[in-house]
Structure 1
């Protein structure tokens, strides 16, 4: 399949960077589109763009944080627009992150979650109107975001800074919170256990290193990303990507802060 993916790395109008990115994906030829887990929640609209100037939104979904790759069958002339919410802020979409972990809200459930905020987007016609209505919806929901509990905020920040290598015991000591309580805070905030979230971040760091033009040997990648050995790297690639390091599927690597690899 062929597709085109673009994103705006940050949405400056969103309060406290609640929205990490606005993105668009255009399907050029049909096939299977692989979405890697990233520990975030997304608001996504699927559009029919077969007739220029008459584009319309077909469906809207709230996608929860995933712990595994998703393979989506797509058709030519489909166009997706989305807002990726920073970890911990997805609840502003009207659903608890734990409810949609490894799942999604669709159809009437989205209407219940978003209410009348959804109407302008569904009534929009043409790409300029759809983009404007979608951005307005994403920002309106971002303005409803509640502040994270301080232990969860610090833990999520440090997990990103270390690209998933900091231990929960160290985070518990840093925040002055029992490890069990901290695990609960993080899971409530993003929908995934902190160990799974850390594994996803470590996997994304490894993918960035392996995708570089002058990628090092896999054993060196494993060491740089905190894996115990190359076999550990291979297992995590199979878990989060569905492929081995030597036979990677073409995928989109979304923007996220990962220590010195922040992009």
Structure 2
């Protein structure tokens, strides 16, 4: 089974989806969980002026509730593999559960590879969730929604996964994605073929792909926290071959250049929009 150590430093990057924060109508609320399989909970109201926003790869599974009074819904989203346009309904209030990187909740009746770059109706892919769905979408208080889902998920477990996969996830997160397959071979004592087979079975991704997503998330986090970053230094610190490689990768995964992203979050007082509860 996935160990609690899976929720490591990268899971502390609460704002893995920066465009959600920037395109919310007002504050973007966040709350942590005592459940080590969960990265965090979040809540926001969709802005009327943001017709389309962007989801960026984060290696996580989300359950996102649309708490609209007339037509509530809930969807399960696996990680994207590149920046992808998504649409929220104007003025709808959303409640989200983001699981820790590489963790798949046991309540989902899906194989790991059925989640990557896919979305599913929560009520159709999880058993006995109609009651918690009704409770969540009818509750207007974010903290109460968190308490309800925390209590519900405590009765379930995360998807059974090999100890090897848990070890790989921990190391990739610890190294901020700057890991080569030969490093994992040396760490675990397993061959590349075994590493890749078990990891893909458990997460739906290869270790190399997962590392790529975590490395991009680490770059986003550093820019968010530091405000002004020397991109050549950041590229070197994260193990990119050169600054050009970093720029190309960032634009593909985040949908803009690092410089433009840095300017946008400074102009929008990004961190000031996040409300921690």
TM-score between the two structures when normalised by the length of structure 1: 0.80
**How many Å separate the matches in 1 of 2:228 and 2:219?**
10
Q: Which has the larger share of strand?
A: 1
> Which of 57-66 and 148-157 deviates more?
57-66
Q: Which runs of 5 or more structure 1 residues have no equivalent in the other structure?
A: 49-54, 254-263
Q: Which has the higher contact order (CA 8 A, sep 6+)?
A: 2
Aligned counterpart for 2:38 among listed residues 7, 16, 19: 19
Alignment of structure 1 residues 1-263 onto 2, 5 Å:
1-3=23-25, 4-8=27-31, 10-12=32-34, 14=35, 17-31=36-50, 32-48=52-68, 55=69, 58-94=72-108, 95-106=110-121, 110-122=122-134, 125-128=138-141, 132=144, 135-137=147-149, 139-141=151-153, 143-213=156-226, 215-248=228-261
Work out whether residues 43 and 138 of structure 1, in 8 Å CA contact, stay in contact via their aligned partners in 2: no
Work out whether residues 106 and 160 of structure 2, in 8 Å CA contact, stay in contact via their aligned partners in 1: no
Classify the secondary structure of the residue corresponding to 1:207: helix
Q: Which runs of 5 or more structure 2 residues have no equivalent in the other structure?
A: 1-22, 272-277
Report the CA distance shift for 1:173/1:165 in structure 2 as closer, same or farther (over 3 A). same
Work out whether residues 117 and 137 of structure 1, in 8 Å CA contact, stay in contact via their aligned partners in 2: no
Classify the secondary structure of the residue corresponding to 1:90: coil
CA-based RMSD of the aligned residues comes to 2.6
Work out whether residues 92 and 141 of structure 1, in 8 Å CA contact, stay in contact via their aligned partners in 2: no
Classify the secondary structure of the residue corresponding to 1:34: strand
Report the CA distance shift for 1:68/1:181 in structure 2 as closer, same or farther (over 3 A). same
Work out whether residues 55 and 80 of structure 2, in 8 Å CA contact, stay in contact via their aligned partners in 1: no
Classify the secondary structure of the residue corresponding to 1:28: coil
What is the deviation of 1:76? 2.8
Classify the secondary structure of the residue corresponding to 1:6: strand
What is the deviation of 1:212? 4.1
What is the aligned residue count?
239
